[in-house]
Structure 1
Amino acid sequence: CLAMLAVLIRCMQLLALPPGPISLAVLMLALTPCVWENACQAEVYTLHGLLFSGMLWLMISFDHAPSARKLTALALVAGLSIGNHVTTVLVYPGIALWLLSTWRRRSDLVTIRRVFAMASAFVAGGAVVLLVFALDRADAYNYLTEVSIGQAPPLSDAWDRFIWTVTAVQFRGSSGGLGALFSVAFPTNVSRELAELASNNALLLLFGSAGFMLLVLRSPDGSVLLRMRGFFAVTLGLLVLYFSTYLRFFQPVFFICGWVILAITSAVLLTEVLQRRLAWWPWTLTVLLYMLLIAGQINGLRRSRTPEREQRAAMLLASIESNAVVLSTWNDSTLLWFHQYVRGTNPAVDVINADVKQWEALAGKFPNRPIYLERVTEDFDKIGWVPVAGFYKLRPSR
């Protein structure tokens, strides 16, 4: 998370934004609850934000000091990013628009040979996920996530798993697809998405949106910042459109690339306020008070909930059999994995992250092993389950 913020600060410095607005914008982003909490629990989204910030830095720094190597590096990071999270494809149209603009200005650097080198770097970056799947255990079920439809290909089949990942099959259970864009419920879905984002950080959403409109309305002046507005517009538009098709499971952290862009455009708005010598102190006071409020909320959540959950996870791992299987949702799974692989508590236990609707089917795949559930759902009756450290154990006789 700190690396993402550091790269973002460098991006805004290259865009010639003043230190004050940069600091306020970065603080707003850093104190966004979804960014802060998922830096501790769901590293995939934090890494997604870091790689996106890296792509931004390469594009912006290229405008300052054009270099063919930066284009190749951009392709490599873009490949790594899709290996980390498939929603990176929503960033590619904006990159393509930026490359077209770059080719018009620097056709000497965007040659056929360079395009081939970029394609090779992109494939090399994306192929990293093949290695990850090939090294994983064939009997693992952790990729059967709550948004998956049907069973994923075995992890032993790296190529099928790669295709399953990059074609976004695992997201089709939550996204309504193109049909959702043309349904009568589309305006409602957009408003619901924006409400979810506003509930996470209304100030960053408001300031960022206003700053983005300033960029759109500003006359071209040849600056790097204005050359990036096409990328910002296309990327933000695709993010909003795609996530408005989500019928369930939408979380504000999915919008991490959008939050990064909104941090930059927030700095644009704050810069405009300062340069025009408007009454900037109410804005600054509002931002500071809002960030203090968010910090207090986060601190309260960490104090009241996380220690209890961590203690629960540690107690469970310490008290169950080494050949046990634990079925849980994402929050508990991440804590259990942390205690297993960071603190070394009972690492032989298989912790499976899956939707509660898949638990019954998954439990049947391990007939001779102890099964523990995060909770007993309506699909199971409580007969035959024994409470253990806040979880429920299936009786061997069942």
Structure 2
Amino acid sequence: MGDYVRQLPHQGSHDMARRPSVVRRVHIDVPLLLLLLLLTFYGLVVLYSASGQSAAAVIRQGSYLALGYVIMILAAQISLQRYARLAPWLYLVGLTILAAVVFVGVGAKGAQRWLEVGGFRFQPSEIMKLVVPLVVAWFLAGRALPPGLFSIGGSLILLGLPAMLIVIQPDLGTSLLIAASGLSVLFMAGLRWRYIFGAVVLAAASAWPAWMYGLKDYQKQRILTMLNPDSDKLGAGWNIIQSKTAIGSGGWQGKGWLQSTQSRLDFLPESHTDFIIAVLAEEHGLQGIILLMGIYLLILLRGFWIGVHAQTSFGRMMAGSLTLTFFVYIFVNMGMVAGLMPVVGVPLPLVSAGGTSVVTLLAGFGILMAISTESRSGAM
């Protein structure tokens, strides 16, 4: 018996020969887009209160979000094959820019992390949060999976070089996040459990030498403050104590929008950036936090769904890495504000005020949408 070949009858202007929808032609993942719009709108509402009812702060954040959404749409139009081809070149450009920060970077608050070009200031380390997983996924996609020792070693070098350049700035928090983004690609590539267990043992064994010789005094102080913030109530422990006070005072329903006394009376530092979730908890209570976490959870589930249905190993690794990295940002910020992790200056994704970080995050979701487009095309 010969092979059965399914053939569609000739169609007129109706029936099954429909043209792809506008949404599909512009490579938009509608569920993901709606969730992001809901999250960023919620963030603007909270930011207005956290910034002292500053319309200028909301307009500035709105302009960054608008730019981010435009870049997200543009990023969604690029094929995964092109991303794979561009990855090594973007990586080299990123390393060059990070090196430039060391020599001609702009300093603020004791750190030199920014470049200023034509009056525009941006933070190159934020861009590397996208470039590092891209280049690691490109490196692994052309090799046998799960990765062996050579592939693991090469990946560690690729993520280690930018991480070291960022540590010099100094910005230990961002360097760890960038390392996490690269390691998440290794994990999604099917890293064997014996390597994961070995890495955990190695990290535990190096904890004491790192404490004695690797960490600076202020970094050690952050860890000690996390363990006992009451040891320096008016100094290093002030932020954590005030954030806990704000979170606890909100209760279930909260005090109401614009009624956050901790931020309004300037007890809570960085209330519109790193500690914005404490303002949300005080004003909207536990129910406001549950709503925010529900939106985050749906975004994460959508990201993993896209990864599961990706048609290539490069797409699966990228989708999984971008989603896991987004989760890490959420986890670190919430843990930091609740006093469960050291204060490392990680903003709450797409809620805290920010410029480069907002644009970079939305660009990452644009790559997710490009992967989603590949998945839908492959399923047709």
- Structure 1 length-normalised TM: 0.34
Higher relative contact order (CA 8 A, sep 6+): 2
- Structure 2 length-normalised TM: 0.35
